[in-house]
Structure 1
Amino acid sequence: MLFSLLFVTTNFANKYVLSILKFTYPTIFQGWQTLVGVVMFRALVSTGHLDGLLHGKEWHECALWLPGMMFFLISIYSGSKALATLPIPVFLSMQNMSLVFRATADLIGYRKIVSVYTYVMMMMTLASALAIAKTDPQFEPDGYLWICVHIVSLGVFEIYTNLMKGRLKLRPTERLFCCYFYSVIVLAPCSYFLGDALEAATFPYLYFGQFYVGCILSGVLGMLMNLCAIRLHEANSSHSFLDISTVQSIAKMFCAATSLAFYDMSFSSTFNLFLIVNMLCTFGFSESSSHWRIQQESQMNHSKSDQNLETSLPWGLDEEIPAGLKRHELQQDMIRVQMS
């Protein structure tokens, strides 16, 4: 429930700044959000709410996460550009196309193909997303171009994260902090070289309080949403209903539905149908893949425990062998007594 609330409010705050106020300078907007994230990280560490970041870590361990930082930066930049022009339901529906990359990540991680039901849900999600773009009454080519970049970067980020499991020594919070810190370093000079800093100086709402409130809320809520997602992902090991992908799909449906009351959007009957199909199929895919993933992890854990049991008990569970060993030890003691 908390994640869904943070997800909705974060998207609403971003949409308000990007579309209503039309602050379409992603290097500055995303640079501000990631800067807020870095400051909040330091504050949470100082107050003891988070463990120390990057303590005892070598530089090459952080360098191993550099591709992940790059894909994270591309995803937030392109996502900001796409959300500025696309309605929230369309943005979230198109974002569901990243399920292909999630299934690929599961294939790489578990070396098994997902179930038939999961595969069908994924194909229906892709087909409905393409149909949404085809039947969109407010079709914006630039918005759909940037959402494609966002989908690819988000998917590659997830695949790379799965590939680095077991090799990367950074905790999830440390990885997020590195992504935020890297984004601040890169976006700060880019805002000048790309001209966003000069254009933002003429922004008409620059001295309006609602602009600053929206920017502060977007940064703080986005940071809290990411931390909540990390907590949910950690809790997923023991509870299937807490799977982050399932919770996120529910949050997307709730966000898309409630956004209709706050933001204008044109509809058609077929367009509405494809939106509903996309959201429902995404939920079906997330629910099915989470159960499938838990089954695979349980099988892997059972196989590891069996191997450990065989290693620790090479004689099996036979009760007669320890008795035989005791008789053998008595015979050895008798031989030693006779020799002495």
Structure 2
Amino acid sequence: MCVRRSLVGLTFCTCYLASYLTNKYVLSVLKFTYPTLFQGWQTLIGGLLLHVSWKLGWVEINGSSRSHVLAWLPASVLFVGIIYAGSRALSRLAIPVFLTLHNVAEVIICGYQKCFRKEKTSPAKICSALFLLAAAGCLPFNDSQFDPDGYFWALIHLLCVGAYKILQKFQKPSALSDIDQQYLNYIFSVVLLAFASHPTGDLFSVLDFPFLYFYRFHGSCCASGFLGFFLMFSTVKLKSLLAPGQCAAWIFFAKDGMLVHTMEVKDGQILLRHGLM
């Protein structure tokens, strides 16, 4: 059992690192900045792979009633906001900056638990939330390639992440498993992003993309779709096999590895590597 948990944890870390690096490559190096199409492609691949896995008996997707689907609809809307704003932000920000801002969503959850649910919060958790907030607040003053639009979309992203996790944790329909939720997210995202691709201009602007017919673009997009699915699947497995504390440790390990490989220190200042990283 310990070996299986370790393998799931290592698989999660590998998918986490590879997924972010691949997405960053497509968004920043190839400059494929058409989020409705890129995220629509990723959710389409994820939905198809999840459907095939269900048909092969590898995962279980329960039939949901209309009331359960409607109850989960606000969370699916937030999921679209997460991936859309996240794509816009990641195309403009270095990965360490993006991840640091992403982590601020935990402050929103902690504040909700403390202020609205009146739950007891340990001093250590409060200190951790304040540290995350302080770290995010210092970023604009230490980012040599400060991009206001990138920070704006990162703010939208973290707000959507915080609200999504609150809905998932405190208002989760009991009949929906994590896989059920993700399946609904995929379906809703594909439909909404497909309709949004025309009003946003992505549908016709992509015809001018210089690497549209290059194999490295096609390969990177395919890799991003498959890695996104495997990251989701390994995350669900990680949460089902490990205690919350152990799961958090693996997530911290994955993020720490990403930060170490995308940051460097020079003359006492933290330099954030852009481009591929």
Q: Same fold (TM over 0.5)?
A: yes
2:47 is matched by which residue type in structure 1?
V
Q: Is the 8 A contact 1:235 1:242 kept in 2?
A: no
1:254 is matched by which residue type in structure 2?
G
Q: Secondary structure at the match of 1:201?
A: helix
CA positional deviation for 1:112: 2.2
Aligned to 1:95: 102
Q: Is the 8 A contact 1:4 1:248 kept in 2?
A: yes
Distance in 1 between residues matched to 2:265 and 2:210, nearest whole Å = 27
Pair 1:233–1:208, CA change in 2 (3 A)? same
Aligned to 2:157: 150
Aligned to 2:268: 269
CA positional deviation for 1:217: 0.8
CA positional deviation for 1:113: 2.4
Distance in 2 between residues matched to 1:39 and 1:187, nearest whole Å = 16
Structure 1 residue 117 and structure 2 residue 124: aligned? yes
Deviations 1:42-61 (A, max 9, x none): 1101211112x242x21111
Q: 2:144 aligns with which of 137, 144, 147?
A: 137
Q: Is the 8 A contact 1:79 1:146 kept in 2?
A: yes
Structure 1 residue 242 and structure 2 residue 246: aligned? yes
Structure 1 window deviating more from structure 2 (134-143 vs 18-27): it is 134-143
Q: Secondary structure at the match of 2:75?
A: helix
Distance in 1 between residues matched to 2:157 and 2:71, nearest whole Å = 22
Q: Secondary structure at the match of 1:207?
A: coil
Aligned to 1:334: none
CA positional deviation for 1:149: 0.2
Distance in 1 between residues matched to 2:267 and 2:80, nearest whole Å = 35
Q: 1:179 aligns with which of 182, 185, 191?
A: 185
Aligned to 1:306: none
Distance in 2 between residues matched to 1:240 and 1:141, nearest whole Å = 35
Q: Unpaired segments of 5 or more residues in structure 2?
A: 1-9, 273-277
Pair 1:240–1:203, CA change in 2 (3 A)? closer
CA positional deviation for 1:163: 2.1
Q: 1:19 aligns with which of 28, 33, 49?
A: 28
Q: 1:231 aligns with which of 237, 248, 251?
A: 237
Aligned to 1:126: 133
1:216 is matched by which residue type in structure 2?
C
CA positional deviation for 1:105: 5.3
1:1-340 alignment, distance < 5 Å: 1-51=10-60, 53-55=61-63, 57-104=64-111, 106-107=113-114, 111-165=118-172, 167-236=173-242, 239=243, 241-243=245-247, 245-259=248-262, 269-271=268-270
Identity %: 30
Deviations 1:130-179 (A, max 9, x none): 101222111000000000000000000001112224x4411110100100
Q: Is the 8 A contact 2:85 2:154 kept in 1?
A: yes
Pair 1:240–1:187, CA change in 2 (3 A)? closer
Pair 1:136–1:155, CA change in 2 (3 A)? same
Q: Is the 8 A contact 2:107 2:132 kept in 1?
A: no
Larger Rg belongs to? 1
Distance in 2 between residues matched to 1:259 and 1:39, nearest whole Å = 32
Pair 1:268–1:186, CA change in 2 (3 A)? farther
Q: Secondary structure at the match of 1:193?
A: coil
1:72 is matched by which residue type in structure 2?
F
Distance in 1 between residues matched to 2:223 and 2:112, nearest whole Å = 33
The alignment covers a number of residue pairs equal to: 263
2:65 is matched by which residue type in structure 1?
E
Distance in 2 between residues matched to 1:246 and 1:69, nearest whole Å = 27
What's the TM-score once normalised by structure 2's chain length? 0.89
2:261 is matched by which residue type in structure 1?
T
Pair 1:101–1:182, CA change in 2 (3 A)? same
Distance in 1 between residues matched to 2:265 and 2:23, nearest whole Å = 20
1:8 is matched by which residue type in structure 2?
L
1:269 is matched by which residue type in structure 2?
G
Q: Which runs of 4+ in 1 moved over 6 A?
A: 265-268
Distance in 1 between residues matched to 2:267 and 2:214, nearest whole Å = 36
Q: Secondary structure at the match of 1:64?
A: helix
Q: Is the 8 A contact 1:105 1:158 kept in 2?
A: no
